[in-house]
Amino acid sequence: MKAIQLRSPLNLSYVSTDASFTSLELSIFINSDVTAIDTTTTPDYFLLGEPIGLRLDFEIAELIRSKNNYTYREDFYTTRDTATYVLVRAVLLDDSGDQIEVKYNLIKVRDGYVDRNEVQLLNSEIDPDIRNWSGNFGTSISINQSDPFGGTDAYFASDNDTAFSAALVNDLPLSGVHTLSVFLKGQTTLAIGNNTTKSIRINLSTGSVSTVNSSVISYDVFKVGGWYKVSVVIDLNPNLFFVISEINPPNNFSVFVFNPTVTKGNLVNFTPAEVLLQSNTTTFLSDNIQPKYMLDRKESVAYTVSNDNLNTIFIASPLLTAYITTILNTSFFIISVTQLTPQKVICETKYTPVRLGFINKFGVIQDLVFFKKRVDTFNTSQQDFKANILRNGTYLPHTGQKQIISKTASAEVKLNTGFYPQDFNEVFKQLVYSISYWIDDEPAILKSTNFVFKTSVNDKLIDYAFDFEYANPDINDIR
């Protein structure tokens, strides 16, 4: 599954070789919990379409976008992922309204609203009915089995012949990088891929992968209920065999199979850490962020050197190669000359660091530490009235005639980033383009609307200031 950027058009293409293909029913289920998707319930969207030349395309990016609204969850900073799962169920119908076949697409989406990329086309190149595959080698196949999403579109394949390894094989006239994926359930160990040299070996009892051939570009395994979604990316040269096979030695072969797909390109999902600081031209891993960029550190002009007797000298020029003599009592004598490894004196942080979280263009929460000047501002508005301060004919001198009937308050904060490297300009641009922010876990909105890149050539040291307003009022004005 791929990290889809939903501001890009996302087209699902359905093609049939059946000349009676006249209509298609598309059900779209959207949930942040993949185990909560149930095809027996009412879908979030239901679409009808008629094919042109036995082909029908649906553009669903904006439909998913409308349901993918971010709200704060306690697991934001533990999972570091705000992905949403989308299950698309397509039922192809003939001119009598009878079902020809059923196709599924399971997509893991991260809402990207920064860059508009090329059109993303998802089209499975394989028949989902494993009974129609080119090679089943005597395997018995039962239909209408329970699938992971409450339906009955899975298959059960079994073979009690222990003389030969059972396999489900389909030969496709494809080449290049493709992603092979399938849902599997059982108690056996299978090989999934192109052939014995381009596959992975997975234990369906535990979901553990024991063997990954060198020809496999990448793979992904995750659990949905009692099923495992297995995806393998392979560079096919010259053609593709989708193989689900029993490994040697042969045993009793039994496995549930659901939604086999073959899609062009590498659709194995990125991990959140890989997309935290990713731009169109450069990829930064979270491990690449040096701590010196995250704290307020000032380097002094002197180095401190101590010996075992706690005698200390200071070397004032950090640009020169330093040498030190052996320290004896409180006097210095040149006994031997040793090159000194510089020790930098680092000052403590002057301002309290502030953690700012925002949704970047990959839909992942990204943190930045603002460690320079902070200014808090509070704004209030009120309604007042003139009151009668006579009580039973007695004047109340300590009660004001003008009194406040209601007051509202809001808080704003101006944050300074501190000095960051120029490589972080892309990250600050994503911050400005974002629509969701949290300052130390408190929801906020960005008031700054203009943003100009700073560079080391033009501005020397690079720092930015941003104005935020807390999304919740300091005094609750909802009664």
Average model confidence (pLDDT) across the chain:
79
Query: What's the rounded mean pLDDT across residues 288-305?
Result: 41
* C-alpha torsion angle, residues 104, 106, 111, 112 (rounded to 10): -80
Residue percentage of the chain with pLDDT more than 70? 75
Does the pLDDT value for residue 329 go beyond 90? no
Distance, CA of 187 to CA of 202 (rounded, Å): 11
Tens-digit pLDDT profile for residues 449-473: 889 999 989 988 889 999 999 998 8
pLDDT of residue 390: 79
pLDDT of residue 303: 42
- Per-range mean pLDDT, top range of 10-14, 180-184, 420-424, 425-429: 180-184
Q: Which domains, from first to last, does the chain contain?
A: 10-123 (2.60.40), 130-264 (2.60.120.260), 299-346 (no CATH), 354-470 (no CATH)
CB 442 within 8 A of CB 413: no
Range from 51-60, 132-141, 205-214 carrying the lowest mean pLDDT: 132-141
pLDDT of residue 61: 86
Comparison of pLDDT for 143 and 341, the residue scoring more: 143
Write the burial class of residue 183 (CB in 10 Å: 0-12 exposed, 13-18 middle, 19+ buried): buried
Query: What's the rounded mean pLDDT across residues 284-294?
Result: 46
CB 46 within 8 A of CB 152: no
Query: What's the rounded mean pLDDT across residues 309-328?
Result: 43
Comparison of pLDDT for 256 and 369, the residue scoring more: 256
Query: What's the rounded mean pLDDT across residues 402-406?
Result: 87
pLDDT of residue 86: 92
DSSP 144-181: EE--TTSSS-EEEEEE---SS--EEEEEE---EEEEEE
pLDDT of residue 49: 93
- Per-range mean pLDDT, top range of 76-90, 300-314, 423-437: 423-437
Does the pLDDT value for residue 187 go beyond 50? yes
pLDDT of residue 29: 96
Q: Which residues contact 7 (CB under 8 A, 6 or more apart)?
A: 61, 65, 112, 113, 114, 115, 116
pLDDT of residue 260: 94
Does the pLDDT value for residue 155 go beyond 60? yes
Residue percentage of the chain with pLDDT more than 90? 30
